[in-house]
Amino acid sequence: MLKAGVIGHPISHSKSPLIHGHWLELYGINGEYKTYDIAPENLERGINDLIADGLKGFNVTLPHKQNIMTLCDSLSDEARAIGAVNTVTITESGGLYGHNTDAFGFSQNLLETIPDFYWSEKIVTVIGAGGAARAVLYALQKNNCPEIRITNRTRESAEKIGLPYDAKIYDWDKRHESCQNAHLIINTTSLGMAGQPELEMNLSGMTNNAVVYDIVYNPLETNLLKQAHQKGAGCVTGIGMLLHQARPGFRGWFGVYPEVTENLRNILLKK
Ligand code: ATR
């Protein structure tokens, strides 16, 4: 039996078993995907146990996404640039290959919703400067977006994000201005998520035909997206990013490149 899973601490909230379990059943694969609760102080030992247990690999979630990097024998360009690993493949010899699929998930979700999105002509505003923002910025850079703006509550975090191009930084109290003439506006913060404060953002300056992308998926239509919808903008929800980022891992461990379907989307949203 092919085995994979997800490590984190805590881990019970993870949606990954639902996603991979659905695909294993759909494609009739003799495999399993389990959660592994590993405390930070036990990370190395916990991973050695997974290797000994014959796992093909695993997803990585909080709080291990950075610490796991030092235990990897090799890293993909994405993982290195983003500074975090969310997908690990265990090689034949028991080595760890660390990868980050969040940028892929971000782009695939956008292209699935807006297939003719033409990156290289876009002024893009990124709200937030945490881990998710790093993955988004990597994708924007890869797709040659000509102008990138970042606005974040803590300006220093935006300054330290350290990507190799000039992104213009807007102070948090000037964040509304960062949307002026923007073609794509992305919320990478947890604001607007159930239980979190709302994201207060005035979208009135964005271009006609702009696209607003919220990586939050609970609720699926955040207030930011409601506002965007009212203004006639294209709207991209966060659920597809979660689903698409899971695909490369599944292919690596189980040998089938899985599809993101409406059915799977609905299963996830009902949970
Ligand atoms: P993730 O890895 O999911 O991106 P993170 O690294 O903790 O999570 O980043 C969270 C982002 O949400 C940050 O940009 C954070 O802003 P700060 O850098 O100022 O902390 C932003 N954020 C979280 N709560 C916020 C709030 N109440 N108001 C404004 N921004 C907030």
Residue 166's pLDDT band (boundaries 50, 70, 90)? confident
Residue of 131, 107, 65 lying closest to 248 (CA atoms): 107
Q: How far is the CA of 223 from the centre of ligand 1 (A)?
A: 17
Does 146 contact ligand 1 (Cβ within 6 A)?
no
pLDDT score of 163 more than 70: no
DSSP class per residue in 108-145: HHHHHHSTT--GGG-EEEEE--SHHHHHHHHHHHHTT-
Residue 167's pLDDT band (boundaries 50, 70, 90)? confident
Token pair in block for residue 219: 């609720």
Euclidean distance between CA atoms 271 and 260, whole angstroms: 17
Euclidean distance between CA atoms 159 and 26, whole angstroms: 45
* Ligand 1 atom 1 nearest Cα: 131
Does 129 contact ligand 1 (Cβ within 6 A)?
yes
pLDDT score of 164 more than 60: no
Half-sphere exposure of 45 (CA within 13 A, CB side): 6
pLDDT score of 121 more than 70: yes
Rounded to an integer, what is the distance from CA 24 to the centroid of its chain?
A: 22
Ligand 1 atom closest to the Cα of residue 129 is 14
Mean pLDDT of 26-40: 98
* Ligand 1 atom 9 nearest Cα: 130
Q: How far is CA 34 from CA 11, 15, 39, 217, 259, in A?
A: 10, 11, 16, 23, 20
What pLDDT, in 10s, does the model give residues 50-90? Answer: 999 999 999 999 999 999 999 999 999 999 999 999 999 99
Instruction: Report whether 242 contacts 265 (CB < 8 A).
Output: no
Does 197 contact ligand 1 (Cβ within 6 A)?
yes
Residue of 23, 74, 57, 71 lying closest to 261 (CA atoms): 23
Phi, psi of 87 (to 5 degrees): -140, 125
Mean pLDDT for the chain?
96
Residue 101's pLDDT band (boundaries 50, 70, 90)? very high
Choice among 3, 15, 56, 65 that is catalytic: 65
Residue of 144, 148, 64 lying closest to 100 (CA atoms): 64
Does 187 contact ligand 1 (Cβ within 6 A)?
no
Q: What is the pLDDT of residue 165?
A: 62
Q: How far is the CA of 129 from the centre of ligand 1 (A)?
A: 7
Token pair in block for residue 257: 């490149």
pLDDT score of 224 more than 70: yes
What percent of the chain clears pLDDT 70, i.e. is strictly above it? 99
Stretch among 14-28, 149-163, 185-199, 205-219 having the lowest mean pLDDT: 149-163
Does 190 contact ligand 1 (Cβ within 6 A)?
yes
pLDDT score of 221 more than 60: yes
Ligand 1 atom closest to the Cα of residue 153 is 19
Q: What is the pLDDT of residue 123?
A: 96
* Ligand 1 atom 28 nearest Cα: 153
Ligand 1 atom closest to the Cα of residue 157 is 18
Token pair in block for residue 190: 């947890």
Q: What is the pLDDT of residue 162?
A: 73
Token pair in block for residue 153: 């509550």
Ligand 1 atom closest to the Cα of residue 127 is 14
Half-sphere exposure of 238 (CA within 13 A, CB side): 22
pLDDT score of 255 more than 60: yes
* Ligand 1 atom 14 nearest Cα: 128
Told to judge if 168 belongs to the known catalytic residues of this protein, a careful annotator would answer no
Helical segments of the chain, H only? 16-26, 43-52, 77-82, 102-113, 131-142, 155-159, 223-230, 239-254, 262-270
Instruction: Report whether 127 contacts 186 (CB < 8 A).
Output: yes
